[in-house]
A and B are shown apart, each in its own frame.
Chain A
């Protein structure tokens, strides 16, 4: 076995005339937590479906554990974006059923279902029917169902949506624990906070294409660091502005401006030398959120430019 659990190369899918997924590749290192980020309708779900072999790509191919996805189904756990359970089934049975589909013994499935549910604070509803549960509870049940057979690869499509903060926390704990058990976790989301906390690596998909691939830090370093500087109270704004790079803007008492990595030490030297003093100073990487918005905006802007060109061409024709 090689170092990648998932190797999906050049996946492309058309829905009619629309290219829903365009040459997207996902390579997930074994034993890592990998996030697929993207705005709504970017093609995350379709990419995951093709990766798992639920639908066939028009171009490209997907291999899981070095084999066809269909031949290693029992080693995969999958939580689809559109949640679905049989409403008439009891929670314990529903989990055991999903385990049985992946080759787990029924009785073992029922036993593990009870254990998982107790851990996640759901012991009250172990023998309750799904239709009596809240949406969030049902989602937790389905999540348990997709990992009850201890799969080597866990694929979760928007697992955090619809969960309250407590359950989101539990889910993060669960994901980390599964990774520590040795499983590879691939999940999609558009909530950056989870990705930032969980992911070892991530891919950003926007407008059907993969726009970024790397670690969270790689993504954050796409943008320059942000400086927040507050001088001693008696300094005049003009002298501060002269000290700082052009483009620094005052907000209240503080000044904000971006800075390149190489410029940090010279800036510190200048501040110390100026005698304006330091009442407050922070130099931080922008959050994943900012990097994500930056990437998506860039893509959208290029699309708008294209659309503008098209409009001009149409007007000329």
Chain B
């Protein structure tokens, strides 16, 4: 092992242990639990709210008694083939007392989206919002009832469904896989890489920086620190991956597979799993992880370099907002690129070093060429080295030489 690598590992080991061997780290590690908990609570609340609201919604058809049967039959048939959720249909028999649709629409106790009244051939439809789906649906019902009346009773058709089992994955699904990769990598770097901005503050605060600077090249201090933080990030991810796998396993053992299969959401998830990214699952997951590492190193190196210039904790706190915004910017660029593979925008996102890991991970989902990833990894690694190199130059020239009040925008003048 070269002395440079050895020095780097010494620094990385110190940083890793200093972070992991504290009670605060447990809080950090378990923080997503709070997020999941809050998300669950919020989600349940929202869905309950939505459920109760949905129960109150209705559409009303005021028709002659002779048409009621036909109307209900048409509703049962059409409702099944409409993707959108249609409010409950309330059928009323027309009489002199209740023919005013406006009054029905304004009845208290439920949301009435549309009311149909009058003869079916020329119905009057009162709707809450112009051009609403509820109104169109009532018109469709009326049309269907009239047609079936005119044609007389028909035998029900007996369709035979055949699923296309091995038709390959649709482009849209691959794109959403790419988007998912971008999102996950972004979220993880956002959560984990931002820490590096304050990492040199510790050494500057307790003056250890001079020991480090005297003993080892600053490049290996910077890289070692990055590596230490990367270690923490990987530990974090590994922990949650194991938790998720264990949770999944327990769930699979507890839940009856038949019940699982019958659930609509499960079958959707299964569909996503059977969908394959263009480069295949093992390669996609592997390269995704590698791109996460590079994204972490790149952003981490930039933050480390910027944070190293900050003189006080307050400056570091001020820096965290622009840094977050910058990351969100990279994320937007990469998602735009992921949704338009092959466009010039996506090429830019793939070449620009800081968005490159995100955009290239998305590309792995839609494009089956693998060599280009080697090229991208090399390109990104060069940038990591370059950023470290520049950060170290700035740090040496400024912070170490010029005392405490030095700022990189305040050029020193020579007398």
Q: Which A residues are within 8 Å of any B CB, using their own CB?
A: 13-19, 52, 54-56, 58, 70, 73-74, 76, 78, 80, 82-89, 97-98, 100-103, 142, 145-146
Contacts and interface: CB of A to CB of B under 8 A. Distances in A.
Contact of B217 (A13, A15, A19, A70): A70
B14 interface: yes
Nearest to B203: A84
Nearest to B402: A15
B207 A80 contact: yes
B217 A17 contact: no
- The 9 residue pairs across chains A and B that have the minimum distance between CB atoms: A84-B207, A17-B415, A101-B215, A80-B210, A84-B208, A82-B207, A78-B214, A100-B10, A55-B401
B377 to A, nearest CB: 30
A54 B213 contact: yes
Contacts of A13: 401
B217 A55 contact: no
Interface string B178-219: 000000000000000000000000110011111111111100
A94 to B, nearest CB: 10
Given A74-B3, A98-B211, A85 B206 contact: yes
B14 A86 contact: yes
Interface residues of B, number: 31
Contact of B214 (A18, A54, A85): A54
A80 B210 CA distance: 7
26 contacts: A14-B414, A15-B401, A15-B402, A16-B402, A16-B414, A16-B415, A17-B413, A18-B415, A54-B210, A54-B213, A56-B396, A58-B414, A73-B214, A73-B216, A74-B3, A80-B207, A80-B214, A83-B207, A85-B206, A86-B14, A86-B206, A86-B208, A98-B215, A101-B211, A101-B215, A146-B211
Interface of B: 3, 6-7, 10-11, 14, 18, 22, 202-203, 206-217, 396, 400-403, 412-415
Contacts of A19: 415
Given A73-B215, A101-B7, 16 more contacts: A15-B402, A16-B402, A17-B413, A17-B415, A18-B415, A52-B214, A54-B210, A55-B396, A70-B217, A84-B210, A87-B206, A88-B22, A89-B18, A98-B211, A100-B10, A142-B211
Contact of B18 (A76, A86, A103): A86
Contacts of A55: 396, 400-401
A101 B211 CA distance: 9
A90 to B, nearest CB: 11
A97 B14 contact: yes
A20 B209 CA distance: 21
Contacts of A78: 211, 214-215
Contacts of B210: 54, 80, 82, 84
Nearest to B401: A55
A16 B211 CA distance: 25
Contacts of B400: 54-55
B403 A15 contact: yes
Contacts of A100: 10
A284 B402 CA distance: 45
A85 B207 CA distance: 7
Nearest to A18: B415
A168 to B, nearest CB: 22
Nearest to B403: A15
A83 B415 CA distance: 31
A46 B214 CA distance: 13
Nearest to B14: A97
Interface centre among A70, A73, A78, A101 (most CB of B within 10 A): A101
Contacts of A73: 214-216
A228 to B, nearest CB: 47
A101 B212 contact: yes
Interface centre among A74, A78, A88, A100 (most CB of B within 10 A): A100
Contacts of A88: 18, 22
Contacts of A103: 3, 6
A13 B211 CA distance: 21
A17 B413 CA distance: 7
A97 B217 CA distance: 15
A125 B10 CA distance: 24
A19 B209 CA distance: 24
A14 B22 CA distance: 42
Nearest to A146: B211
A186 to B, nearest CB: 13
A76 B214 CA distance: 9
A85 B208 contact: yes
Given A70-B217, A86-B18, A103-B6, A80 B401 contact: no
Contacts of B401: 13, 15, 55-56
A84 B396 contact: no
A177 B18 CA distance: 34
Nearest to A149: B215
A18 to B, nearest CB: 8
Contacts of A98: 211, 215
Given A16-B412, A56-B396, A97-B14, A84 B209 contact: yes
A243 to B, nearest CB: 56
B207 to A, nearest CB: 3
B15 to A, nearest CB: 10
B211 A80 contact: yes
A101 B216 contact: yes
A74 B202 CA distance: 24
B86 to A, nearest CB: 63
A14 B415 contact: yes
A15 B414 CA distance: 8
A93 to B, nearest CB: 9
B25 to A, nearest CB: 12
Nearest to B400: A55
Contacts of B213: 54
A152 to B, nearest CB: 15
Nearest to B3: A103
